Amino acid sequence: MKKRITYSLRWLAGVVLVSFLATGLWSYGFVKDPPRILVFSKTLAFRHASIGAGQKALFQLGKEQGFVVDTTEDAGRFNEENLKRYQAVVFLSTTGDVLNAQQQNAFERYIQSGGGYMGIHSATDTEYDWPWYNQLAGAWFANHPMPNNIQKGTFVVVDKNHPSTRFLPERWEREDEFYSFKNISPALHVLMTIDEKTYQGGTNGDNHPMAWYQEFDGGRSFYTAGGHTDASFSEPLFLKHLGAGLHYAMGGDSPKPLDYTKAKTKRLPEENRFSKVVLGEKLDEPMELTVLPDNRVVFVERRGNVKLYSPSTGKITLIAHIPVNTKVTDKEGKVGEDEGGLLSLTKDPHFEQNHWIYLYYSPEGKEAKNSLVRYELKGDELVMSSKKVILDVATQREISGHAGGSLTFDAHGNLYLSTGDNINPQQSNGYSPADERPGRSPFDAQMTSANTNDLRGKILRIHPEADGSYTIPEGNLFPKGTPKTRPEIYTMGHRNPFRISVDPKTGFLYWGDIGPDAGQPGEKRGPAGQDEIGQARKAGNYGWPYFVGDNKPYFQYDFATGQSGALYDSEKPVNNSVNNTGLNQLPPAQKAFIWYPYAESKEFPLMGAGGRSAMAGPVFHRDQFTQAKRPFPDYYDGKLIIYEWMRGWLMAVTLDANGNYASMERVMPSYKFSNPVDIEFGPEGDLYMLEYGSGWFTQNDDARLVRIEYNGGNRKPLVQVATSKKGGSIPFKARLSSEGTRDFDNDALTYSWTVTSQSGNSKRTFPVANPTVSFDKAGIYKATLTVTDAKGGRSSRTVEIMAGNEEPVLTFETRNSNQTFFFPGQPFAYEVKVQDKEDGSLASGKIKPAEVAVNIDYLAEGYDLAEIAQGHRSADASAQVVKGLKLMESSDCKACHSVDKKSVGPAYEQVALKYKGEAGAAERLAQKVISGGSGVWGDVAMSAHPQLAQADVQEMVRYILSLAEKKQASPSLPVKGSYTMNLPEGDKGEGRYLVRAAYRDKGSSGVPAITAEKTLVLRSAKLPAGKADKIEGVMKYGTVIIASVKNSSIGFSNLDLTGIEQIKFTASAPKSQLNAAGGTIEVRLDDPTGKLIGETAFISPSEGGSVTSMPPPVVAKLSSATGFHDVYLVFKNDKAPAGQSLFVVIDLEFQTRQSAESSAKPASTPASAASGPSQDLEAYAGKYKMSGLPFEYIEITPKAGRLSMKAGDKEGELTPGPGADEFKGGNNTVFKFSRGADQKVTSLTLEVQGMSFKGDK
């Protein structure tokens, strides 16, 4: 009995111990914690079906070797507190950009502290924008074999002393997918290579590594290329190899604990430690700011206002108005909006002693110039009598041009001023504006940027003196006295250098230069447009208008004949323009520091894609803020802060010890700022920002002065506010919401709402999180939520509510027209409907069609939205002044006044001219109309009009003041009509159509007018497959997808299917290149398993590579479907073997009946295509050594007036393409030849299925 009890107790103890082992409960102190690994398998590109088998194998290895395995696809687990738990992290067939900057930072610090890394298979197909990871993993994926990606091959063990290989045979044959690699680190200790003679498709040659290890950056790294197939994880030798490699990564037989004191990478602060504090909003085109030593902020608005924010009162006040010019007048007298105005300001380095600030603006008057002016700021007053003009920059005011305009000082008291090229870019197709035709000087940047004797398109450097003069510092581009030059020039060759800064320690100058609009390189014109971040360590020429970006040259182009000449030479640029008054021979062109196009940049992919306006901010130095309350953290020490006006981000650029570019990362990456236009650090270490707002040339609700604070201690609550109703006719109730408010330290929170009227006479407090508030008196109210945490941290946020005026409701009815896509040549039928509670409606006739602005514009790819916005504002203005005109006509005003002739009182035009550009004029005149007045226009008194509502009088005054502008407003379209959406000549249809309507109501009960605006954005109906919003199980290469497994899918979100009868696909199943099985494409609604509305015929595998025509289109006819849906394309072939690719989808086109019929008609061959390129075909002849392809050479040979090509055992004929030096081959391949400076063909780029392969001749 005793033995049985003892045995039972032992058995029970064993069960308990096994339970502890199984659940990982080792932290109670009974036994030492077992080692742990984290298996990470997140994929954002191709997803390997073998991930599940790999996880299962690693669980089994953990059970056998005594470590705990945690699996995750949550990148949020990459934080310091969590990673400290693991001896190694395994990247199991990860793909794509799987970690954000915060997570990358945590992983770098983990490795540097002694952590381990193991990469399996496509771990090398991961994080291509993170060079550190490339070094850690050891290489990046280059390609895999074709036609068959899975083959048998022989591994060669080159080091049998490592635990992961000592048991393997010297030559090891196995079946898998064998990667070739690029960016292979020279520091690797290679364990195994593969013999490329034993399989097809290897591209690394004799030294083709397949497994390696290294000690890297304080940690250990092991990688093995196997693991594509499920079967790999059942192979005993591969599993043993995997286990031993993992043992090495975990620290081997004597693992050491992590030591974070050895981490070299500074810890990236958590984003939630930053807060954006709004100091003021609804600004009127804010431009540039300066923070004074006492934390007051002075900023300027483009139309002439100088404003000051006081931290003691929390208010913004107008301290001065500078009369400025914001218009241009062309030769025909047409008035348009210009980029000029009050552009910039900065404070003197010795402001505390002399109280000087500097403004740069376009003074009102006939003389076309911009002026740099110094004023004294006494207290909160800008002393106008202290004005000293320091420098004038001659300009032209005939047509709108780039103004630039930014001011900053260096550590030596030198003042830098950036100036735009003052050239209109709209008639050079987005390329170099070098139009030398007579009368075209405003279109020739050789007159300005490339002119050594002109101050435009430059960054000037001067030293201001106390008497208002200036001297020239040593080291400017041209010594004083040099003929045909201006000594003030520090850098030249700029287009629109909009924001600049100088590193106070290195003296390096930085600027953002907004580049030209071309979305694509132009045949014989030049490169696609690029924005630039510039760095100048000394004076220099930065190339515009001859070069852009990294010195990409433009062709010399004759605007009179349309003929192109040679490319400009960056080493010896020459300006021979008739408009040039400076030197002909220019200094060598310098390339940009950072450059990027509309599309994603290959060199700087983090810059993103889309509209662009580069801005350069300050370099942060932590030691300049030793006494500051809340400086930015040490992590940003020495980093350059850049920002993007269009894309709305902040970016920190890391510089190496020599000031060269090292890396970049987003600051506050989840924030999208509203067109940030200036930033500057204040004395307390906060970053101040002006947000211009979302609209051009107008006051915006989201135009703000903000302060970005960093909190290294207790984090204040993050406050979110909302209201169920932002305004309306009284009485009404609004529910105020605090939903989304949180505390990152998990403190208890208390809530208090304060609702205050504009006058301050009414103030109500609600000590709850979500109160319901009644509004029964007209006026503007501010509802402020203040949230306090348990430690006293407090944050507030405000929402504005207008009582007494219901917002207009504006809608589009498109009468069976599609609201997602436009169709060239087809009519778009629309009707605008407006309903306003106070004003009535369009349908009732109380709102007149002339009061509604309607615009339809085509936005070509890369076109400047500001130009379209300018037309919108003009149309809005013409619609809005109609209200004032109607009120005038129904009043008694016409008894004493006329529009253009003096009567009893002055003509309206005289009044308009007198008060043109004067701050506050509209408000003062409105009050005068109501109360009456005399003495301004003679002895006759103007009668009072107390019977008129304030809002009505403001509309009347707005009409009067509009008469000062002799402008020709952009015409508004009818509120109901049909518009044929044609494309501009030569346009590829990749742009957008903008259908917009706006109505500004008349206000009510003394509450200001409210504008309702709606825009439909219609895109091309032809979509690249790779631009899908959702992908599952496919391989993505650029804009092309490969249906790499059956039942994979892609999805497009929220598409309008109204009028869509079919979808046409460009798709093929190339057997020789992809071993494709073929299949069908199902079209489903709202889910990959949703309603089936269409299916293509079977896409059959195609043999050979010599077919010279495009693959025939594949069509899916759609059953009836209307309205908006998510559209899923599901790729089917139930008979395809597991893991076999089905086909390639290049693009898809949604077609109406009319567009389907049009595309079915055979297209005629253009004469230019039939005749081929003008170059001699012999110029292309030769052998091109290719990289990344299963054959080494492509051979090009002219035969009977055509080009033929041979690639491996494939041959085919090339047909002329649409561009010069461009030809089409079989299977939708494109052959693009490149030429050197001597115009000889030097290289070939082969584009196939979204991939590019380059070869030199």
Question: How many CA atoms are closer than 13 Å to the CA of 1104, on its beta-carbon side?
Answer: 10
Tell me which residue of 876, 860, 1118 sits closest to 1011, measured CA to CA.
Answer: 876
Q: Which residue has the higher pLDDT, 1 or 389?
A: 389
How far is Cα 588 from Cα 542, in angstroms, rounded to an integer? 8
CA–CA distance from 470 to each of 371, 464, 541 (Å)? Answer: 14, 4, 23
pLDDT given at position 774: 96
CATH architecture of the region 1174-1256: Beta Barrel (2.40)
CA nearest neighbour of 309 among 295, 322, 320? 295
DSSP state of 231: G
Residue labelled with tokens 């010599």? 1106
Residue 1165 has pLDDT above 60, yes or no: no
Which residue type occupies 1182?
G
Task: Give dist(CA 211, CA 157) in Å, integer.
Answer: 9
Task: Cite the DSSP H helix spans in 904-1010.
Answer: 908-915, 921-931, 950-962
CB-CB contact of 71 with 41 (8 Å)? yes
Output the CATH code of domain 1021-1160: 2.60.120.260
Q: Which two tokens stand for residue 800?
A: 């504005």
Cis geometry, peptide bond prior to residue 731 (ω within 30 degrees of 0):
yes
pLDDT of residue 801: 93
| pLDDT for 238 | 98
Q: Report how far residue 566's alpha carbon sits from residue 554's, in angstroms, rounded to the nearest whole number.
A: 9
Nearest to 344 by CA among 283, 448, 419: 419
Residue 625's pLDDT band (boundaries 50, 70, 90)?
A: very high
Question: In what helix (H) or strand (E) does residue 133 lie, and over which residues does it extend?
Answer: helix 131-137
- Which one is predicted more confidently, 1103 or 680? 680
Give, in degrees to the nearest 5, the angle at Cα 441 between 438 and 446: 115
Label residue 948 by pLDDT band (50, 70, 90). Answer: low
Sole residue written with tokens 């007209």:
778
Contact 1063, 1118 (CB under 8 A): yes
Answer whether 127's CB lies under 8 Å from 119's CB: no
Residue 1038 has pLDDT above 70, yes or no: no
Confidence class for position 1033, pLDDT limits 50, 70, 90: confident
State the Cα torsion 98-100-101-107 to the nearest 10°.
Answer: -50
pLDDT (tens digit per residue) in 728-767: 999 999 999 999 999 999 999 999 999 999 888 889 999 9
Please say if the pLDDT value at position 561 is more than 70.
yes
Q: Give 942 or 55, the one with higher predicted confidence.
A: 55
What CATH architecture applies to the domain 34-262? 3-Layer(aba) Sandwich (3.40)
Summarize pLDDT for 1127-1159 with one digit per residue, the tens. Answer: 999 999 999 887 678 999 999 999 999 988 877
* Percentage with pLDDT > 90 across the chain: 66
Q: How confident is the model at residue 1221 (pLDDT cuts 50, 70, 90)?
A: confident
Residue type, 1010: I
Name the nearest CA neighbour of 1148 among 1174, 1163, 1129, 1126: 1129
How far CA 193 is from CA of 126, 170, 189, 198, 784, in Å, comes to 21, 11, 11, 12, 67
What's domain 722-803's superfamily in CATH?
Immunoglobulins (2.60.40.10)
- The number of residues in the chain equals 1257
Q: Please report how many Cα atoms fall inside a 13 Å half-sphere around the Cα of residue 1216, on the Cβ side.
A: 18
What is the C-alpha to C-alpha distance for residues 634 and 629, in angstroms, rounded to an integer?
14
Q: Residue 1013's pLDDT is what?
A: 86
State the Cα–Cα distance between residues 597 and 530, nearest whole angstrom: 4
Q: Specify the higher pLDDT residue, 892 or 1111.
A: 1111
Identify the helix (H) or strand (E) that includes residue 388: strand 381-394
How many Cα atoms occupy the beta-carbon half-sphere of 1013 within 13 Å?
15
Residue 1162: the pLDDT is: 52
Q: What is the mean pLDDT of the chain?
A: 87
pLDDT of residue 211 exceeding 50, the answer is yes
Going by pLDDT thresholds of 50, 70 and 90, the confidence category of residue 872 is: very low
Burial of 1025 (0-12, 13-18, 19+ CB in 10 A): buried
Comparing 372 with 1135, the larger pLDDT belongs to 372
> How many of the other CB atoms lie within 10 Å of CB of 475?
12
pLDDT at 959: 65
Query: Residue 635, Cα to own-chain centre: how many angstroms?
Result: 24
pLDDT band at 297 (very low <50, low <70, confident <90, very high): very high
Q: Which tokens belong to 1184?
A: 């091109």
For residue 933, what pLDDT is reported? 64
Q: Quick one: how far is CA 59 from the chain centroid?
A: 42
Residue pair 724/801 in contact by the 8 Å Cβ criterion: no
Q: Which of 628, 621, 654, 615 is nearest to 268 (CA)?
A: 654
If DSSP states are collapsed to H, E and C, what string results for 44-85?
Answer: CCCCCCCHHHHHHHHHHHHHHHCCEEEEECCHHHCCHHHHCC
pLDDT given at position 898: 62
Q: Are 191 and 213 in contact (CB under 8 A)?
A: yes
Ligand-binding annotation for 897, yes or no, is yes
Residue 1072 pLDDT exceeds 90: no
DSSP annotation of 238: H
Q: What is the mean pLDDT of residues 834-857?
A: 93
- What's the pLDDT at 920? 63
Average pLDDT over residues 178-197: 97
Where do the domains of the chain lie?
A: 1-31, 34-262, 286-384, 401-596, 722-803, 816-932+943-1018, 1021-1160, 1174-1256
Which residues lie across from 4 on neighbouring strands?
none
Question: What's the pLDDT band for 963 if we cut at 50, 70, 90?
Answer: low
Q: What pLDDT, on the 0 to 100 scale, is given for residue 873? A: 46
Residue in 818, 787, 785 with CA at minimum distance from that of residue 800: 785
**Could you tell me the two tokens for 723?**
């209201």
Q: Which amino acid is at 778?
A: A
Condensed to tens digits (0 to 9), the pLDDT of residues 1097-1131 reads 999 988 643 222 357 789 999 997 889 999 999 99
> Is domain 286-384 given the CATH code 3.40.50 in the classification?
no
CA-CA distance, 1253 to 1251, in Å (whole number)?
Answer: 7
Residue where the block lists tokens 């409606």: 841
Residue with tokens 């696909």: 1065
Q: Is 760 exposed, middle or buried (0-12, 13-18, 19+ CB in 10 A)?
A: exposed
Residue 149 near residue 1044 (C-beta atoms within 8 A): no
Tokens linked to 408: 């900053």
Cα distances (angstroms) measured from residue 877 to each of 325, 424, 882, 972: 19, 24, 9, 10
Alpha helices by DSSP H, listed for 1040-1152, are 1071-1074
* pLDDT tens column, 214-225: 999 999 999 999
Q: Are 823 and 836 in contact (CB under 8 A)?
A: no
Domain 816-932+943-1018 has CATH 1.10.760.10: yes
Question: What is the structure's pLDDT at 992?
Answer: 85
Burial of 1013 per CB tally in 10 Å (0-12, 13-18, 19+)? middle
Q: Is pLDDT at 135 greater than 80 in this prediction?
A: yes
For the stretch 482-533, pLDDT in tens is: 999 999 999 999 999 999 999 999 999 999 999 998 888 988 999 999 999 9
Classify each residue of 725-758 as buried b or exposed e, where b means 16 or more C-beta atoms within 10 Å of its C-beta.
Answer: bebbbbebebebbbeebebbeebebebbbbbbbe
Q: Quote the strand ranges of 395-506, DSSP E.
A: 404-409, 415-419, 459-464, 470-471, 489-492, 497-502
According to the annotation, is 942 in a ligand binding site?
Answer: yes
Model confidence at 15: pLDDT above 50:
no
Whether the model pTM is above 0.85: no
pLDDT at 283 > cutoff 70: yes
